[in-house]
């Protein structure tokens, strides 16, 4: 009997890559998505696979979440839940905190209620480096404190982690909490590369960048992210709640470098116009020194560096956008 | 002009002690409470004070919270908000997570929306040592990690801290986050002493204790808690979010010791019957080594030790219950 994986948010950027990989591995895969960011077309290759099912529900609502789990459970007993549903537009959540409350936190809250009801032993959760807030130059390992997120998105990811941790005390056998870095690749729904490409579509001659371009961040390609998560899920652990930073092993690239690479690809003559300050937007963390020692101790290393991930993603996203 | 302090949850155990103290200090005091635990009688001495106002609203609901702030603002501009509203029944929150979601987290979420609307610069928040989870023998200072709470109550307090931290990035000038220990005193609405006294009311000869009685915890008297909070609020700080553990400076007393002192006071001949295991209930943290170095660095020390606080509280609660 194949393992039955329920992927909430499975039609989004990371979810659709994960669904494809789990199907390839032979799993029974059920995707639940409300298409807030995800698209049905991202799953189009799976539709004919008899091990694949899809349900359109918004799991932040109790009844929808109940229905989603009931439908998935009817297919076969659910062995694991992957929770990848969230608002991924950080600035939107700053101006309207209800978005992160509902899409990023209440999804987690409701999913945990159903996990308890169906006695599902394992949850894999897409958390974020945003839970850490701004530690300046300090190396950010999983046990650092205090945790003072500076965006509502980061706050609601931390709230989710906290609720999952409490669930591990009462009913969950294991939770893998992955603290994601900036992830790039396709299908791109948001992020700096897509933003730049879209801006150049409107004005081919000028690219306006938020902030002064010196923000340096590490980027991981989605293919490396999926392989890292899968590796962690296969490892035995004495702890019920496993926290893992996922990221590349280099120290990242600047926004300026990304902007230059995007114009090189689209219109090398375009001018780049920088804003002021090191922060791109409210809630943006300008500097980030992410420790991936724990992940490396599991025996993982990324295939691509930050710069290689960005270059590959620029290529992929340019193609994605020209097809549209 | 007197400082206008809005106290949410101001009719509860700690809130009513705080309201009394702030009125004594000359503040304009507005209390909002929904009487989930609080009682109007706890505020009865303030009613005739012209600097005191009271409104009955449940701030977890958006419209109620809007109305609460609108009413308070009509009295005079609000200078600071004290947020003490929460579910304080930890086991109840474990069996029904909706309780902590609504009373402990959504109160914070809604209050922050109104704080932003009325441009109120300062929030004082009653957080909890429960956000830390179980660190065994490790000394728990404010910057320890990872934060893996083991109760929904602790999870929703941590969620509240996270949302407040994000608010400090966008609109709040300062937040004092107080991580409370076990607090004792009157008016007692819950807690180990009241439980024991109530059990002995039903059966004078036997006192059944959850767990084996070896759980050792530090206890602070509510009068010391209020003085600690007030001291922190008067200190200047370079940081916007101030995290402070509040607690006595000793290492606490066992549940066994408390049980013995309660029967000494009520019926010295009663038998104490212990349960099994070091945990009193799911989500209970059996051992707790709480650092109060940061609080001491502000120049604070408690008047009463854990054992003195318990003895004083037993006396106070016995009187409270006999009056009823």
Which three-class secondary structure string do you get for chain A?
Answer: CCCEEEEECCCCHHHHHHHHHHHHCCCEEEEEECCCCCCHHHHCCCCCCCCEEEEECCCCCHHHHHHHHHHHHHHCCCCEEEECCCCCCHHHHHHCHHHHHHHHHHHHHHHHHHHHHCCCCEEEEEEEHHHHECCCCCEECCCCCCCECCCHHHHHHHHHHHHHHHHHHHCCCEEEEEEECEEECCCCCCCHHHHHHHHHHHCCCEEEECCCCCCEECEEEHHHHHHHHHHHHHCCCCCCEEEEECCCCCCCEEHHHHHHHHHHHHCCCCEEEECCCCCCCCCCCCCCEECCHHHHHCCCCCCCCHHHHHHHHHHHHHHHHHHC
Contact: B97, A105; criterion CB under 8 Å = no
Contact: A162, B166; criterion CB under 8 Å = no
Q: Is cis: bond before A187, omega within 30 of 0?
A: yes
Query: Can you give the pLDDT at residue B95?
Result: 84
Query: Can you give the pLDDT at residue A181?
Result: 87
Using CA atoms, how far apart are residues A134 and A239, in angstroms rounded to an integer?
27
Homologous superfamily (CATH) for A4-183+220-245: NAD(P)-binding Rossmann-like Domain (3.40.50.720)
DSSP string, B278-295: S-SSTT--S--EE--HHH
If you average pLDDT over residues A73-81, what whole number do you get? 98
Measure in Å the smallest separation between the Cα of B113 and chain A Cα atoms.
8
> Which tokens in the block code for residue A286?
């300008």
Measure in Å the smallest separation between the Cα of B200 and chain A Cα atoms.
30
Q: Report the candidate in B184, B159, B165 with the shortest Cα–Cα distance to residue B97.
A: B159
CATH no., domain B185-218+250-287+303-323: 3.90.25.10
Query: Can you give the pLDDT at residue B29?
Result: 98
Query: Can you give the pLDDT at residue A217?
Result: 85
The dihedral of CA B7, B8, B14, B16: what is its sign?
Answer: positive
Contact: A155, B159; criterion CB under 8 Å = yes
Q: What single DSSP character describes residue B270?
A: P
Class of residue B324 by CB neighbours under 10 A (exposed 0-12, middle 13-18, buried 19+): exposed
Which 3 state secondary structure label does DSSP give B56?
A: strand
The predicted-structure confidence for B136-175, as pLDDT tens digits, reads as follows 889 999 999 999 999 999 999 999 999 999 999 999 999 9
Q: Which residues of B touch A61 (CB under 8 A)?
A: none
Question: How large a percentage of chain A has pLDDT more than 70?
Answer: 96
Q: What single DSSP character describes residue B133?
A: B
Using CA atoms, how far apart are residues B113 and B101, in angstroms rounded to an integer?
17
Kindly give the interhelix angle for A192-202 and A255-266, rounded to the nearest 10 degrees. 40
For B133, the closest of A142, A144, A165 (CB atoms) is: A165
Using CA atoms, how far apart are residues B309 and B218, in angstroms rounded to an integer?
10
B31 neighbors B10 (Cβ within 8 angstroms):
yes
> Which tokens in the block code for residue B59?
């701030």
> What is the band of A277 on the pLDDT scale with cuts at 50, 70, 90?
confident
Q: Which helix (H) or strand (E) holds B44?
A: none
Strand A241-245 vs strand A174-180: parallel, antiparallel, or unpaired? parallel
Using CA atoms, how far apart are residues B228 and B231, in angstroms rounded to an integer?
5
Assign domain A184-218+250-287+304-323 to a CATH class: alpha beta
Phi, then psi, of A285 in degrees rounded to 5? -100, 115
State the Cα torsion A154-A158-A160-A165 to the nearest 10°: 160
Residue-range domain boundaries for chain A: 4-183+220-245, 184-218+250-287+304-323
The predicted-structure confidence for A125-182, as pLDDT tens digits, reads as follows 999 999 999 998 899 999 999 999 999 999 999 999 999 999 999 999 999 999 998 8
Say if residue A237's pLDDT is above 90: no
Using CA atoms, how far apart are residues B255 and B113, in angstroms rounded to an integer?
40
Q: Report the candidate in A214, A184, A199 with the shortest Cα–Cα distance to residue A287.
A: A214
Chain A, nearest residue to B177 by Cα: A148
Q: Report the candidate in A238, A248, A243 with the shortest Cα–Cα distance to residue A307.
A: A248
Contact: A145, B149; criterion CB under 8 Å = no
> What is the band of A39 on the pLDDT scale with cuts at 50, 70, 90?
confident
Measure in Å the smallest separation between the Cα of B99 and chain A Cα atoms.
12
A169 neighbors B283 (Cβ within 8 angstroms):
yes
Task: Compute CA distances B100 → A97, B35, B94, B154, whole Å.
Answer: 19, 16, 8, 9
User: What is the pLDDT of chain A when averaged over all its residues?
Assistant: 93
Using CA atoms, how far apart are residues A196 and A207, in angstroms rounded to an integer?
7
Query: Can you give the pLDDT at residue B168?
Result: 96
Confirm whether pTM is higher than 0.90.
yes
Query: Can you give the pLDDT at residue A283?
Result: 60
Query: Can you give the pLDDT at residue B71?
Result: 98
Say if residue A318's pLDDT is above 90: yes
The predicted-structure confidence for B199-254, as pLDDT tens digits, reads as follows 999 999 999 998 899 888 889 999 999 999 999 999 988 899 999 999 988 888 99
Query: Can you give the pLDDT at residue B93?
Result: 84
Strand B216-217 vs strand B253-254: parallel, antiparallel, or unpaired? antiparallel
Contact: B150, A169; criterion CB under 8 Å = yes
Query: Can you give the pLDDT at residue B159?
Result: 98
Distance from the first to the final alpha carbon of chain B: 39
Q: Which residues of A touch B152 (CB under 8 A)?
A: 163, 166
Measure in Å the smallest separation between the Cα of B110 and chain A Cα atoms.
10
Q: Which residues of A touch B142 (CB under 8 A)?
A: 145-146
Say if residue B282's pLDDT is above 70: no
For A155, the closest of B147, B156, B166 (CB atoms) is: B166
Using CA atoms, how far apart are residues B116 and A62, in angstroms rounded to an integer?
29
Higher pLDDT, A17 or B218: A17
Say if residue B284's pLDDT is above 80: no
């Amino acid at each position: 009997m194949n393992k039955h994986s329920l992927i909430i948010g499975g039609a989004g950027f990371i979810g659709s890559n994960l669904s494809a990989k789990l199907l390839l591995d032979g799993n029974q895969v059920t995707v639940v998505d409300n298409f807030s960011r995800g698209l049905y077309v991202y799953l189009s290759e799976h539709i004919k696979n008899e091990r694949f099912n899809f349900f359109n529900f918004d799991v932040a609502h109790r009844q929808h979440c109940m229905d989603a789990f009931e439908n998935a459970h009817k297919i076969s007993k659910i062995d694991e839940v992957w929770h990848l549903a969230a608002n991924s537009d950080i600035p939107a959540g700053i101006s309207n905190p209800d978005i992160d409350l509902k899409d990023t936190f209440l999804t987690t809250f409701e999913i945990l209620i159903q996990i308890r009801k169906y006695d599902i032993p394992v949850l894999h959760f897409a958390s974020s480096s945003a839970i850490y807030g701004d530690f300046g130059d300090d190396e950010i390992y999983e046990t650092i404190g205090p945790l003072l997120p500076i965006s509502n998105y980061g706050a609601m990811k931390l709230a989710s982690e906290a609720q999952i941790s409490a669930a591990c005390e009462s009913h969950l056998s294991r939770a893998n909490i992955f603290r994601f870095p900036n992830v790039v690749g396709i299908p791109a729904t948001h992020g700096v590369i897509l933003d730049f490409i879209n801006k150049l579509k409107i004005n081919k001659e000028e690219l306006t960048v938020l902030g002064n371009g010196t923000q340096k961040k590490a980027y991981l390609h989605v293919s490396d992210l999926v392989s890292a998560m899968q590796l962690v899920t296969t490892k035995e652990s004495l702890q019920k709640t496993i926290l893992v930073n996922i990221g590349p092993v280099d120290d990242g690239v600047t926004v300026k470098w990304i902007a230059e690479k995007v114009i090189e690809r689209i219109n090398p003559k375009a001018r780049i116009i920088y804003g002021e300050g090191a922060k791109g937007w409210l809630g943006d963390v300008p500097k980030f020194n992410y420790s991936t020692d724990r992940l490396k101790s599991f025996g993982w290393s990324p295939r691509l560096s930050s710069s290689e991930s960005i270059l590959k993603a620029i290529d992929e996203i340019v193609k994605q956008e020209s097809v549209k």
